[in-house]
Chain A
Amino acid sequence: MDALVAGAEAFIQVFRTAADVFVGFTTGIIPIVVVFLTAVNAVVKFIGEERVEGFAKWASQEGWMYVPVRYTLLAFVAVFMLTNPVCYTFGTFLPEKNKPAFYDAAVSFVHPITGIFPHANGGELFVWLGIAAGVEMVAPDMVTALAVRYLLAGLVVILIRGIVTDIIFSMMWKSRQGGAA
């Protein structure tokens, strides 16, 4: 009998703990996400699509000096303003040969951005939040610093991804053309 009670106790304890964590997330994460989402949604609507598209056209020009613009700034603005998955439509403005690299850069940024701007990818927050929740337990004052660094490191990573994918794509493209001819 005692064993049964202990078993039931242990069983229900899983859900008590889970519920405590759930309440912690609900009061800690949901309010700020809702308010933030509302604000950014409104800002995005007020700025308007035309202005963002104008910027995208400028940032999509050919030339090596636009490489950092294309794979950091343009990807950032696309993910921030249009959010996942609409952000990839910015590829439209780019030369055909840069589209795969831009996709790679943009898609690689949809998680690093969520540490500070959760609206950009609300459906996939727990890549960041899962790790952040653990950090919160041992070093609560480090979470914001970590979010900022995640964002900055993300920008460096997407620049590298853009450049590397550009090179690989042009190599594959050439060997394919060579094979066809």
Chain B
Amino acid sequence: MQALIERIGRSVGGVVGTLFQAGRDAVDLCLKTIIPFMAFVTFVIGLILETGVGDLIANGIKGFASSLGGLMIVCIICAIPILSPLLGPGAVIAQIVGVLVGTEIGRGNIDVSMALPALFAINPQVGCDFVPVGLALGEAEPETVEVGVPAVLTSRMITGPISVVVGYLFALGL
């Protein structure tokens, strides 16, 4: 009898403990990563909405982000193997450009149908800074890393523009 109670107690404790830890991890991530970035992002949005900076950026972005061809150009530039590792870290650039494009969509300067292709166009450099580390995490041999890094970077030149087209096709009928 006592053993039974002990076992129930222990498993309930285990479940509650896991849930509590999950909640703690969630709040931790929010406080340490999401909210700080949110503060920064909302400041940028405020700046765009309330000052002339917004119109300047809008004119710059609009030409590129309101047509498929323009998005292609952005994407190809971001995917250039020399630039892509520089643009990659922490996805900071992609997030800022995302906010800029998003704000222009919100103001009605860019059509909503461009949202999905834009999500891919601003991000062909994803993870390009991280290839050696990512491969090392997968326990790749040094030779694999040596060839793998240029392989991934080169591949992005091809798959970047393709991803914009895929995004465009998936946005049809939205």
Which residues of A line the B interface, CB within 8 A? 10, 13-19, 21-22, 25-26, 29-30, 33-42, 45-46, 85-86, 88-92, 94, 96-97, 99-100, 102-104, 106-108, 110-112, 119, 122-139, 142, 145-146, 149-150, 152-153, 156-157, 160-161, 164-165, 168-169, 172-173, 176
B148 touches A99 (CB 8 A): yes
- Whether A38 lies near B22 (C-beta < 8 A) is yes
Closest CB of chain B to A74's CB: distance in Å?
A: 12
> Is A122 in contact with B33, judged by CB distance below 8 angstroms?
yes
Cβ of A35: which chain B residues have Cβ within 8 Å of it?
26
Interface secondary structure of A, over-half rule: helix
Contact indicator B104/A96 (Cβ below 8 Å): no
Interfacial residues of chain B within 147-174, with CB under 8 A of chain A in the complex:
147-152, 154-156, 158-159, 162-163, 166-167, 169-171, 174
CB distance from A118 to the nearest CB of B (A): 9
A18-B43, A107-B130 are contacts. A130–B99 as well, Cβ < 8 Å?
yes
B30 within 8 Å of A by Cβ?
yes
- Contact between A91 and B138, CB atoms less than 8 A apart: yes
Q: How far is the CA of A101 from the CA of B43 in the complex (A)?
A: 38
Distance (whole angstroms) from the CB of B88 to the closest CB of chain A? 9
For residue B27, which residue of chain A has the nearest CB? A34
Interface pair B46/A14, CB less than 8 Å apart: yes
Query: What is the minimal beta-carbon distance from B112 to any residue of chain A, in angstroms?
Result: 5
DSSP majority for the B interface?
helix
Q: Which of A40, A88, A128 meets B119, CB within 8 Å?
A: A128
Judge whether B66 is part of the interface by a CB distance below 8 angstroms.
no
Give Cα A26–Cα B91 distance, bound, in whole angstroms: 21
A100 proximity list for chain B (CB < 8 A)? 131, 135, 140, 144, 147-149, 151-152
* Residues of chain A with a CB closer than 8 A to B50's CB: 10, 13-14, 17
Query: A14 and B47 in contact (CB under 8 A), knowing A135-B112, A156-B166, A160-B166?
Result: yes
Contacts A22-B42, A172-B151 known; A92 to B108 CB distance under 8 Å? Answer: no
Contact A46 B26 (CB under 8 A): no
| A37: contacting residue among B25, B119, B140, CB under 8 A | B25
User: What is the minimal beta-carbon distance from B105 to any residue of chain A, in angstroms?
Assistant: 3
How far apart sit A72 and B21, CA to CA, in the bound complex (Å)?
30
Task: Tell me whether B90 and A85 are in contact (CB under 8 A).
Answer: no
Cα(A36)–Cα(B29), bound, Å:
12
Knowing A18-B42, A45-B22, A96-B144, the reply to whether A161 touches B155 (Cβ < 8 A) is yes
B106/A134 in contact, CB under 8 A: yes
CA–CA, A53 and B112, complex, Å: 40
How far apart are A177's CB and chain B's nearest CB, in angstroms? 10
